[in-house]
Amino acid sequence: MPAKATLQDVADRAGVHRTTVSLALRDHPRIPAATRARVKAVAEKLGYRINPLVSALMQSRRSGRAVKHVTLAYVTNYPTRFGWRPPHHDRPNFFPGAVARARDFGYTVEHFWLAEPGMAPGRFCDILSARGINGLLVGRLPPGQSALDLAWERFSCVALGLTLRSPALHQITENHFDAAVQGLLRCRERGYRRVGFVFTEANDSPRVGNRWLGAFLAHQQHLPAAERVPACPAIPADEAAFRTWFEATRPDALLATHARPVVGWLKRLGRRVPRDVGLIDLAADHPELGFAGVYHDPAQLGALGVELLVGLLHRHETGVPAHPSEVLLRGEWRDGTTLPPRS
């Protein structure tokens, strides 16, 4: 499929500056009528079309006022309208960060629920197109769902998180591998020598767990044999499986995909956190709970999604990308109270 003509292509063919092209296509009186007509003819011949979203964004920047009718769609598909956000869901909420960053660019972000009663994919896409909405931010999908079927070729699209696997869109997500590495290095610095890994509950996306586990297994290869601890084999573990594994391996610290269940399991084993066992929460979605771990600010993730999406709109890039990219947000270590230095 041939590449779409750009503003620069029109400028080169017409022999004028790209600013002249921009003004001519908007019928600016500063440009002579003859030049406007010539530029429009070249644009028509090349098949160049003004992207209304980008045009509105430029207008917003020039005037310093937000253009309220320029909207990006935040798409969710939970069984209930707001099942994707607190208090209905305890995973990070990317929406507020997306809204705030979009406002900086002169956009608004509006939530659209795919599971609206009577809604079908074709009708959903028609509604967005009728409203002039060309940019989609796809929010986290519910557990067990990994695919969406929309007319992607009509939109510029970015997925937030790793739950959407089909189609493969550009994605913004946390750097889970790095989070586990940061946790393992903190354990070593603080005197823990036998660090274990446990899946404590199913995650929205198996790929998240694989990245945490991959970092753990890579780290194990560099340890003396006496300090290597096999990961808890149950995925996810229940209390009985955890007890069997813990008593066999005796780790002095744990990386847990979600830390809250582990505290109770250890307590019933006669072990206290952090007196007997250090604990790192890999999800670390709730720093207010006091667990040590790496926190990824969901507002930053939402903002990054908007920035990537605006770039796609600028470049007129629509549909499923031939070479999808993944932008990783590096998290911030939070000490909490569950990984003190060992005496």
pLDDT digits (tens, 9 = 90+) for 196-255: 999 998 766 678 999 999 999 999 999 999 999 999 999 899 999 999 999 999 999 999
Q: Is the sign of the CA dihedral 159, 164, 168, 173 positive or negative?
A: positive
Residue-level pLDDT at 316? 83
| Position 242 in a domain | yes
Q: How confident is the model at residue 143 (pLDDT cuts 50, 70, 90)?
A: confident
**Residues 184, 277 share a domain:** yes
Which pLDDT belongs to residue 110? 97
Q: 65 lies in a domain?
A: no
Report the amino acid identity of residue 227.
E
As a whole number of angstroms, the distance between CA 274 and CA 263 comes to: 9
Cα(136)–Cα(139) distance, integer angstroms: 9
DSSP 228-257: --PPPSSSS--HHHHHHHHHHH--SEEEES
pLDDT of residue 6: 85
Residue 239 lies in a domain: yes
Tell me if 58 is assigned to some domain. no
Q: What's the sign of the alpha-carbon dihedral 80, 82, 84, 85?
A: negative
What is the domain count for the chain? 3
pLDDT of 2 above 80: no
Burial class of residue 301 (count of CB atoms within 10 Å of its CB; 0-12, 13-18, 19+): buried
Domain assignment present for residue 59? The answer is no
Question: Could you read off the pLDDT of 144-160 as tens digits, one per residue?
Answer: 899 999 999 999 999 99
Would you state the pLDDT for residue 63? 58
pLDDT for 94: 97
DSSP of 168-205, one letter per residue? --EEEEE-HHHHHHHHHHHHHHTT---EEEE--S--S-
Residue 54 has pLDDT above 80, yes or no: no
Residue 5: pLDDT band by 50, 70, 90 thresholds?
confident
Structural domain contains residue 61? no
Rounded average pLDDT over 47-76: 67
Question: Is the pLDDT reported for residue 103 higher than 50?
Answer: yes
Q: H helices within the chain, ranges in order?
A: 7-14, 18-25, 33-46, 52-63, 95-104, 121-130, 176-189, 206-220, 239-249, 260-268, 298-314
Domain co-membership, 181 together with 289: yes
Q: What's the CATH number where 20 sits? A: 1.10.260.40
* Residues 143 and 218 grouped into a single domain: no
- CATH number at 281 reads 3.40.50.2300
Answer yes or no: do 220 and 238 share one domain: yes
On whether both 34 and 143 belong to a single domain, the answer is no
The verdict on 320 and 226 lying in the same domain is: no
Q: What is the pTM of this model?
A: 0.79
Length of the chain: 343
**Per-residue pLDDT at 1:** 43
In a domain, 66, yes or no: no
**Pair 162, 228 in one domain:** no
- Cα 117 to Cα 31, 76, 81, 124, 143, distances in angstroms: 51, 14, 10, 11, 20
Residue span of the structural domain in which 247 resides: 176-295
Say if residue 222 is in the same domain as residue 308: no
Instruction: Kindly state whether residues 283 and 182 are assigned to the same domain.
Output: yes
Q: Is the pLDDT of residue 88 over 90?
A: no
Retrieve residue 200's tokens.
Answer: 């404590």
On the CB side of 341, CA atoms within 13 Å amount to 3
Query: What pLDDT sits at residue 331?
Result: 95
| Percent of the chain at pLDDT exceeding 70 | 92
**18-40, pLDDT tens digit by residue?**
889 988 887 787 899 999 999 99
Q: How confident is the model at residue 307 (pLDDT cuts 50, 70, 90)?
A: very high
